[in-house]
Chains A and B, each alone.
Chain A
Amino acid sequence: MNFARRSTLILGIATAVALGTAGCSGGLLGGGGSDDTGSTSGGESGPIKLGMVIPISGSSAPTGEYMKNGATMAVDEINKDGGVNGRQLELLVEDEACDAQQSVAAANKVVSNGAVVSVGGYCSGATLPEIPIFQKAGIPMIIPAANSQDLVNQNAKNVFLINGTGKQQSSAALKFMKKQGYKTVAIVDDNTSYSKDINTETKKQIEEDGSIDVVLSTSVTAGESDYSAVVRDIMQAKPDLVYWTGYYQEGGLIINQLTKAGFQGDIMVADGSVDASLVKIAGGADGVYATMTQTPDTIKGAEDWIANYKDKFGSAPGPYSTQSYDAVRLAAEAIKKAGSTDGDAIIKALEGIDGFQMFSGPLKFTPEHTLSSGGFVILQVKDGKFVLADDLAS
């Protein structure tokens, strides 16, 4: 049976595992009390570390890559100009795979490695459980992408959202709907936290406004192929506009199946669906509108930035590249203003920032730590590409 050898093997593995975990840094005895956050960069030397917990694996991995590149670009630029308070910046990227459990582990890891500001956060569901961890460690979070209202409702004083919130996206959607003169709309989400948030909020705002009828507000299950049930419901309700608030994978399928079913109305998608793959999966989506915070393509004067990005990473920037870039710059600015890497000082500095130039415009946080205006615009698919259709300025 060769039993003994197996046991040795197992013991070996177990020891290896134990040693591997132990191979990092001090324990309860060595590293100070149990409330030690492991923060080493609180000191006065060495690089200032920024934590970035984003999806590197899983279905949201491409966006994570855009975010990482955007942030890296900002870090490199700042370091070239001499860093912050005479110290260099360092980016600590960890994978959360859009999963709560992994994001908690990842957040703990960046805290342990001495991050002083967090500049990550894409999936709202995975970002929520990170809040208490960063809060406890006294680390401010500048969240570039995740924007569920739940994040705001936490009322955590260390959380700052620099993406428009669900509420702001909804009001942008409503504004556009009224502008277009739609009478009836159907809102469909994919039953994820982010998506449902926009659905509920849009419905609420439309009903408060009173001039448009929500004829259908429903959810589908993400990850399926056949959405004939919701397509049937939409065909029966005959809305002027279908607003899809989920991600691009299902969005593409629903657009395709609606078209096949002969749907005549307009279709609009939310920012999670703004991706080149949407058009590919839909098999052509010309005319589809989208509510989106500005992407580099749609921002005037960003051509240089895009060229730099392409130079550096060999591909065009995507969703949330700019926000991540701005998140790092904002963090640097706040540390500079605070004059230290102390969490509370940085939070105070962030709250005091007024008129800091970002892609979404001059920044001043609301008391809720969100942008005063979401910077949402309306894009439209033309020749297979999302282009600016309406900046909702008037």
Chain B
Amino acid sequence: MSTSVDKTRTRPRSNSAGAKLSRFMESPKIGWVAFAIALLMPFIIATPYALNVMTTAAIFVLLASGLNIVVGYCGLLDLGYIAFMAVGAYTAGIVAKSFQLPLLFTIPAVIVMTILAGLIIGAPTLRLRSDYLAIVTLGFGEITRITANNLSITGGPSGIFGIPGLLEIGGIDLQEPAIFYYVTVVVVALFVLAAARLGKSRLGRAWRFVREDEDAAEAMGIHTYKVKLMAYIFGAIWGGFGGILFAAHLTAVSPQSFVFLQSALVLMAVVLGGMGNMRGVVIGALVISLLPELLRDLSDYRYLAFGILLVVVMVFRPQGFWPARGFEPERPAPNEAATESEPAPPKEAIR
């Protein structure tokens, strides 16, 4: 993870402790620190419950980083993201169970299926304007769930259970909670890193351009449709891997796990953390997935709190708690934005 996101910006910095901390948070070390904390956690606490909660949180981080590609990088609001996880989990579950394969060997099938799903959902909808896209993805999410609930190959409403584990080699069962936790953490870390790298690649810059101003991007010779579809497909693959881990973790897949609420929670993680900034999103995902476990007894109120939080964040800090550097502030009026030391928003250049 490199810090050289945006060399053009020159923000005056004070030398207070807060600023130092802020600089530390920006440094490439932070990723490694987080990874080390994740690896050390089981040495502090390793009850099955804690491992289960931490594993769930790690899978959630993977989902959030995938959705971040779609929403954060490319600016496409996807309200049915959980459908990709459903596709991944069901594909893995069905293939693994019917051929009695370890889940690890279902990866190729899952990649194929999620790419297909990304194409099927993305191809007809990506020409739509953003708010239509949101509703259509929501519709697709619901369609996926209802279909899974109605078909017999997906086990109908009970879903698929008794899914084989990830892999068993030489007496080491990757299903063992602690080992599975480490596998999950490593996989998730790789994917988060990959997503962060993607964001800085040529494609990532194209995504940001599309997000900031689609017309301008088009005019500059970016094939916006193709670029958006790529974001979708990457998001889908991330979701699919989340699905494999999910299936391995629960050893069961059922339609109730893929309701709209889940999509909304992943979105919330991305929005709260700061769209486009992978580190913020990781923190957001951890908060969203761990907080309800800590507040188990308040379960009925947590969605109310989430809803209010979403509105408050959007009204007062639309870029999230920890926005991406170089992320165009969303709110300021045009003239205000121009006075900031931000790079001139391309939007103004075109109009």
Knowing A21-B53, A34-B176, the reply to whether A7 touches B322 (Cβ < 8 A) is yes
Judging by beta carbons under 8 Å apart, are B18 and A21 in contact?
no
| Contact code string B225-268 (vs A, CB < 8 Å = 1, else 0) | 00000000000000000000000011110101100000000000
Contact check: which of B19, B46, B290, B321 meets A6 at CB < 8 Å?
Answer: B321
The 8 A CB mask of A33-69 against B (1 = contact, 0 = none) is 0111110000000000000000011000000000000
Known contacts: A20-B294, A38-B48, A105-B293. The answer to whether A8 contacts B21 by CB under 8 A is: yes
B178 sits at the interface (CB 8 A): yes
**Can you name 9 extra interface pairs (CB under 8 A) apart from A17-B291, A21-B294, A108-B52?**
A8-B21, A17-B286, A24-B47, A27-B41, A56-B299, A101-B250, A101-B257, A154-B161, A154-B162
B49 pairs with A129, CB closer than 8 A? no
Given A17-B294, A27-B45, A193-B156, verify A129-B18 contact (CB < 8 Å). Answer: no
Determine if A219 and B150 form an interchain contact, defined as CB atoms under 8 angstroms apart. yes
Q: Are B161 and A129 in contact (CB under 8 A)?
A: yes
Given A4-B19, A22-B45: A191 and B176 interface contact (C-beta under 8 Å):
no
Contact B49 A108 (CB under 8 A): yes
- Within the complex, the shortest CB–CB distance from B57 to chain A, in Å, comes to 9
Check A105–B56 contact: CB distance below 8 A. yes
List which B18-44 residues lie within 8 A (CB) of chain A: 18-19, 21-22, 25, 37, 41-44
Interface pair A37/B322, CB less than 8 Å apart: no
Give Cα A356–Cα B244 distance, bound, in whole angstroms: 44
- When chains A and B are docked, how far (Å) is the Cα of A95 from the Cα of B300? 11
How many Å lie between the Cα of A14 and that of B34 in the bound state? 11
Within 8 A of A (CB), among B200-231: none
Question: Does B287 touch A at the CB level, under 8 Å?
Answer: yes
Question: What is the minimal beta-carbon distance from A389 to any residue of chain B, in angstroms?
Answer: 30
Size range of the chain A interface in the assembly: 35 or more
8 contacts between A and B (CB under 8 A): A4-B14, A24-B50, A28-B42, A57-B300, A97-B299, A108-B53, A125-B254, A195-B157
A124–B283 Cα distance when bound, in Å, is 34
Residues of B in contact with A (beta carbons under 8 Å apart): 14, 16, 18-19, 21-22, 25, 37, 41-54, 56, 146, 149-150, 156-159, 161-162, 176-179, 249-252, 254, 256-257, 283, 286-287, 290-291, 293-294, 296, 299-300, 321-322
The listed residue (B18, B48, B251) touching A108 by CB distance below 8 A is: B48
Which chain A residue shows the least CB distance to B54?
A: A21
Shortest beta-carbon distance, A385 to chain B, in Å?
A: 30
Which 3 pairs from chain A and chain B are nearest by CB?
A4-B18, A34-B178, A112-B47
